[in-house]
Amino acid sequence: MSAAALTGGMMGMSFGAVAVTSGLSVWLAVAMSVLVFAGGAQFTAVGVAAAGAGPLATVLAGLLVNARLLPFGLAVGGVFGRRWYSRLLGSYLMIDQSVAFALAQKDAERARAVYWAASIAAFVTWNSGTLIGALIGSAVGDPKDFGLDAVFPAGMFALILPQLADKTPRRVAILGGVIAVATAPLLPAGLPVLLGLLGLAAALPVPKWKGKTA
């Protein structure tokens, strides 16, 4: 699961650097990565807090972004196992990458193995990357000077790129992207991403109209 490990490490470095330069301490950035372990929610929460929002608005923004994981859990819930603690741990470690890798497998046993391997690898590298990025951010100042702020969106785009070869995922991605971009200037941070889930409507079958026969 080298892809998940590499992606997690690079995104973690990006978050650590951005978090520290936005006002968080190194230990708080690391603690957030360990306890929350959700890149999109963490970036959103830090951005909202840096913009001057209060604690409640910051938490709500993170929860809104993480709401996208609800349908993911329904899609891959079978790989968690039957025991309550494995389901709890599997839900905690669930990220976009591990879900994508698991869904790409045709065999249930392999999907389970891939999910856990990708999730654990990403957890280790995400948190170690956060620490490294936070230390770099506290030393160099603005992460934009090194392009670290662009790592997260670039990594997410690289993750979905192979899926865009198929027509249905491509329609979903285009519709979701259009909705998110169109609503971004109008809504608080986090909401456009959540509304982008409406792009899933593009995957619904189109009913065929049958006219009357003579």
CA distance from start to end of the chain = 60
> So what's the pLDDT on residue 175?
83
> So what's the pLDDT on residue 105?
80
**Any idea which residue has 């994508």 for tokens?**
100
> So what's the pLDDT on residue 137?
77
Q: Residue 25 falls within a domain, yes or no?
A: yes
> So what's the pLDDT on residue 141?
60
In sequence order, which residues have a C-beta less than 8 Å from that of residue 185 and are 6 or more positions away? none
What's the rounded Cα separation, in Å, for the pair 72 and 69?
Answer: 5
pLDDT at 209 over 60: no
Share of the chain above pLDDT 70, in %: 73
Q: Residue 114 falls within a domain, yes or no?
A: yes
> So what's the pLDDT on residue 155?
55
Q: Residue 161 falls within a domain, yes or no?
A: no
Q: Residue 29 falls within a domain, yes or no?
A: yes
Q: Residue 192 falls within a domain, yes or no?
A: no
More confident residue, 134 or 212: 134
Q: Residue 196 falls within a domain, yes or no?
A: no
- Please give the tally of structural domains in the chain: 1
The total of other beta-carbon atoms located within 10 Å of residue 27's CB is 10
Instruction: Tell me which of 31-40, 53-62, 95-104, 125-134 is least confident.
Output: 53-62
> So what's the pLDDT on residue 127?
92
Q: Residue 164 falls within a domain, yes or no?
A: no
Segment 125-144 shows an average pLDDT of 80
pLDDT at 130 over 70: yes
| pTM (predicted TM-score) | 0.66
What's the rounded Cα separation, in Å, for the pair 38 and 26?
Answer: 17
> So what's the pLDDT on residue 107?
82
Helices (H), the chain: 2-21, 26-36, 39-50, 55-66, 69-76, 84-92, 96-103, 108-140, 151-160, 167-183, 191-195
* Full residue range of the structural domain in which residue 82 is found: 2-141
